[in-house]
């Protein structure tokens, strides 16, 4: 039963094929068997999961089941979960027990979901491979010598390896979509402000988005129904009605206009990925879509703009970790300055320190206008490119990544090479647009994916297209052999 999708498991629970306790026990057994090898989870919450599953079975027996009642999922360890360690993959928060619940995890719990545990990630979500975690790298279940992508690599591996029915992730510059592509699952980055950031520990406040990581677009719609919506505790949350994201899944695609941005199909794109993405385009044309070449001319500026804005925001957000209030504290400081310096130097890893330094420099007197202000101006131009494109087409289709998953350690000592792997995802975050990553093929036995980019609050349209594509292909059904 662990090969079933979230939607299929919900149907099985409703029909009484198995109980939530039985389902949860099966996932926990699989986690015990494979997590040591894959390192998808930082914390496994066995007792909490079984207690929640028992409560879910009681609610279902009483006729009080809601859409996610009894379904076991995992949370990226960047979402605060009351009474459970929330580490952000960092030594800095290794001992942090969250005193409150994030809005995303609270809404999923309110929808009946069972929490299996907290998944691994690049430290403070800064990375593209889940190698910078204090708890060691997560491995791609398709090939354990390769990365699963990042920063939501633990969640991606958990879903791909069937160690969870679904998982939450966060996307600051592609951190849901890229690991989804590398592990052969579906990942949705919602419109900025559609999902509350309250209780999601901040990296880049104007970029961070929480979203679902699932086997299918249909499952992602089920998850988004639970987590989307206005939250008065989040000042960036959009006060806008929530659609039923499952309502449009079966709409035909006749008349759909798809744009192919030439900047995403140029030099540097793996030829196997190019062929698989174009094969997916052909399938969508068979379903009634038309295709048009478009241009997003400032795509190449997304990397320099992002790697000024995100580190600048990280520098500000991570200034609170000082060894005084909570988190890691160095031993035997000689004075307050020593406490600050050694706690941060020992608590943060190399990549986090690198981004804090870059961000602090960009915000410093004399450099703010030259770097941060200029990057924000580029951000607006990138947004304008998308809006020009959406005057011609309904949705933009592109590869998610320029290459398949690389070998563990291959890019660890070359941060620029790592940053370049985000070229196809960063601009979507800078513009605040929604995007859906879907598996569409394999290269050398490793999964890869395409992404659909929509206009603001067009999540239901993206999920409709993704679902229709998955009705005529089976890439989403393929799973690694463990």
Q: Name the nearest CA neighbour of 439 among 215, 223, 162, 286.
A: 215
Query: Of 20, 87, 102, 151, which residue is the catalytic one?
Result: 151
What gap in Å lies between CA 151 and CA 70, rounded to an integer? 27
C-alpha separations of 370 from 235, 307, 356, 460 in Å? 28, 14, 18, 39
Q: How far is CA 406 from CA 139, 443, 451, in A?
A: 11, 12, 19
What percentage of the chain's residues is helix, strand, coil (to nearest 5)?
40, 15, 45
Classify 164 in phi/psi space as left (phi over 0), alpha (psi -120 to 50) or beta: beta
Q: Is 151 a catalytic residue?
A: yes
d(CA 204, CA 318): 10
The catalytic position among 132, 175, 302, 427 is: 175
Selected catalytic residue, list 19, 76, 133, 460:
76
Known catalytic membership, residue 76: yes
* CA distance from start to end of the chain: 16
Residue 175 known to be catalytic: yes
Tell me the C-alpha distance between 434 and 455, whole Å: 7
Cβ atoms < 10 Å from Cβ of 479 = 18
Question: Which amino acids are annotated catalytic?
Answer: 76, 151, 175
């Amino acid at each position: 039963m662990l090969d079933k999708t979230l939607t299929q498991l919900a149907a099985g629970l409703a029909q009484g094929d198995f109980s939530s306790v039985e389902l949860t026990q099966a996932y926990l057994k699989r986690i015990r068997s494979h997590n040591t090898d894959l390192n998808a989870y930082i914390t496994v919450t066995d007792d909490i999961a079984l207690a929640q599953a028992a409560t879910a079975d009681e609610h279902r027996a009483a006729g009080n089941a809601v859409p996610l009642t009894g379904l076991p999922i995992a949370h990226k360890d960047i979402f605060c979960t009351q009474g459970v360690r929330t580490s952000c993959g960092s030594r800095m928060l290794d001992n942090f027990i969250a005193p409150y619940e994030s809005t995303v995890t609270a809404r999923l719990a309110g929808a009946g979901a069972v929490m299996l545990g907290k998944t691994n990630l690049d430290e403070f979500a800064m990375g593209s491979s889940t190698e910078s975690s204090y708890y060691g790298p997560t491995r791609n279940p398709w090939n354990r010598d390769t990365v699963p992508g990042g920063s939501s690599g633990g969640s991606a591996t958990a879903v791909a390896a069937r160690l969870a029915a679904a998982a939450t992730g966060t996307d600051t510059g592609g951190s849901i979509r890229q690991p989804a592509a590398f592990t052969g699952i579906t990942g949705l980055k919602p419109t900025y402000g559609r999902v509350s950031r309250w209780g999601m520990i901040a990296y880049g406040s104007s970029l961070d988005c929480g979203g679902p990581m699932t086997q299918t677009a249909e499952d992602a719609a089920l998850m988004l129904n639970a987590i989307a919506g206005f939250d008065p505790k989040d000042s960036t949350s959009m006060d806008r009605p929530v659609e039923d994201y499952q309502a449009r899944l079966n709409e035909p695609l006749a008349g759909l206009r798809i744009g192919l941005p030439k900047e995403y199909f140029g030099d540097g794109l793996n030829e196997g990925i190019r062929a698989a993405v174009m094969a997916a385009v052909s399938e969508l044309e068979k379903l009634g879509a038309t295709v048009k070449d478009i241009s997003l001319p400032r795509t190449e500026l997304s990397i320099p703009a992002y790697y000024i804005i995100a580190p600048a925001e990280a520098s500000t957000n991570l200034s609170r970790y000082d060894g005084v209030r909570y988190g890691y504290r160095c031993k035997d400081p000689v004075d307050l300055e020593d406490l600050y310096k050694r706690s941060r130097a020992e608590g943060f890893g190399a990549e986090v320190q690198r981004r804090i330094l870059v961000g602090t420099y960009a915000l410093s007197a004399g450099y703010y206008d030259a770097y941060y202000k200029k990057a924000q101006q580029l951000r607006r131009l990138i947004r304008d490119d998308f809006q020009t494109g959406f005057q011609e087409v309904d949705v933009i289709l592109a590869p998610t990544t320029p290459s398949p998953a690389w070998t563990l350690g291959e890019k660890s000592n070359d941060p620029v090479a790592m940053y370049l792997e985000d070229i196809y995802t960063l601009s979507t975050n800078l513009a605040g647009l929604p995007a859906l990553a879907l598996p569409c093929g394999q290269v050398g036995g490793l999964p890869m994916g395409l992404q659909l980019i929509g206009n603001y609050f067009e999540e239901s349209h993206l999920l409709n297209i993704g679902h229709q594509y998955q009705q005529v292909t089976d890439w989403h059904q393929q799973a690694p052999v463990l």
